[in-house]
Chain A
Amino acid sequence: MGTDAVRVIEIKKSVYENNDREADKLRGELKEKGIFLLNLMSSPGAGKTTTLSRTIEALRDKFHIGVMEADIDSDVDARRISDLGAWAIQLHTGGMCHLDAGMTRQGLDELTEKEVDLAILENVGNLVCPAEFDTGAVKNAMILSVPEGDDKPLKYPLMFSICDVVLINKTDVMPYFDFDLDKCREYVAMRNPNAKVIPICAKTGEGMDEWFSWLENEAKAWNAR
């Protein structure tokens, strides 16, 4: 064979495969260190800040909570997180539209150092790209707010197919938006029969206890050795 012979090298691998491997590795390290990591996704304006704040208040006596924020569109400011009694950890995305396992890893040392056992990753606010990249989180959650419409699971099927829990937020305004909760549950189940749907209103507190206990139970089960 000449030195310049062109050869075909077969790869046949998913573009996401390396990231998936990195994510699995990260999950393994989190398990070892006793850190539960939740990947929280939503559209902008779905009520992430309020939901997160109420969650920290409810669980701060039971866990050392850390919130990892992406620099691209963080809508929860670090001071507010600290005032509530949780650690705020900044991740640098370089302007990307999603977080991947490599970016999540940036926060690992800080989580360890601060002895966090419940970490919440505030993903970039969109419903497309974050669904493609495994962040290394133990569980995936998303917030769908009532004004976005009950048919959102049909428009973003991949997002709903990877979520372990779907929080339907702002239930207090349901009558004004013709939001059909049963239909929405059905649409979520079509894409992901295993997803747990919890209607909440972060503002009034309605339904929040169910969400807190879900999170507490999942985190305790993961951290138990």
Chain B
Amino acid sequence: MHELGVVFHIIDQVEEVAAENDVTRIDSVTLQLGEVSTVIPSYLTDCWDWAKKKHELLLEAKLVVEKIEAVTFCEDCKQTYPTVEYGKTCPHCGSGNTYLVQGNEFMIKEIEAV
């Protein structure tokens, strides 16, 4: 259900950009999605394919999802590590004093349009 709400927000923004650029048809919409952004890509695509049918500009539009790897930084040993594998605890020194540097992004990168 979260994915559907998010799709509505994407469509609103894409339509806004389309209007500014006199677009008559959108072929694809590319998103950049962090690994830990709470959005599941396959659900997102399903919601997209359902919702796009209600928008004339988007009837043919394919959703492209580029994944951004989640990386966490350790304040104590100043090293980074993959978040999905190790979570909040640094695998180098065992500290929990860590924060996410990338991986929660949810961006609309670009559209291909006519």
Q: Which of A4, A19, A132, A157 has the most CB of B within 10 A?
A: A132
Expressed in whole angstroms, the Cα–Cα distance for A19 and B108 within the complex equals 14
Closest to B13 in A: A18
Let me know if A11 and B13 touch, CB within 8 A: yes
Chain B hits for A162, CB < 8 A: none
Q: How far is the CB of B43 from chain A (nearest CB, A)?
A: 12
Expressed in whole angstroms, the Cα–Cα distance for A15 and B111 within the complex equals 14
Let me know if A128 and B6 touch, CB within 8 A: no
Let me know if B2 and A11 touch, CB within 8 A: no
Q: Is B42 an interface residue (CB 8 A)?
A: no
- CB within 8 Å of B: which A139-162 residues: 154, 157-158
Chain A hits for B88, CB < 8 A: 154, 157
A to B CB contacts below 8 Å, 13 in the list: A6-B112, A8-B110, A8-B111, A9-B110, A9-B113, A11-B13, A11-B110, A14-B105, A16-B106, A18-B9, A98-B2, A129-B5, A129-B38
Q: Given A9-B23, A11-B17, A15-B106, verify A97-B2 contact (CB < 8 Å).
A: yes
Closest to A93 in B: B5
- CB within 8 Å of A: which B78-110 residues: 88, 96-97, 104-110
Let me know if B10 and A15 touch, CB within 8 A: yes
The residues of B with any CB-CB pair to A shorter than 8 Å are: 1-2, 4-6, 9-10, 12-14, 16-17, 21, 23, 27, 31, 38, 88, 96-97, 104-114
A1-37 interface code vs B (CB 8 A; 1 in, 0 out): 0011111111111111111000000000000000000
Residues of B contacting A: mostly: mixed
Let me know if A18 and B5 touch, CB within 8 A: no
Residue of A7, A12, A100 near B112 (CB, 8 A) is: A7
Let me know if B2 and A190 touch, CB within 8 A: no
Let me know if A15 and B6 touch, CB within 8 A: yes
Chain B hits for A84, CB < 8 A: none
Chain A hits for B97, CB < 8 A: 190
Let me know if B38 and A132 touch, CB within 8 A: yes
Q: Is A95 an interface residue (CB 8 A)?
A: yes
Q: How far is the CB of A139 from chain B (nearest CB, A)?
A: 22
Let me know if A9 and B17 touch, CB within 8 A: yes
Residue of A12, A95, A100, A158 near B108 (CB, 8 A) is: A12
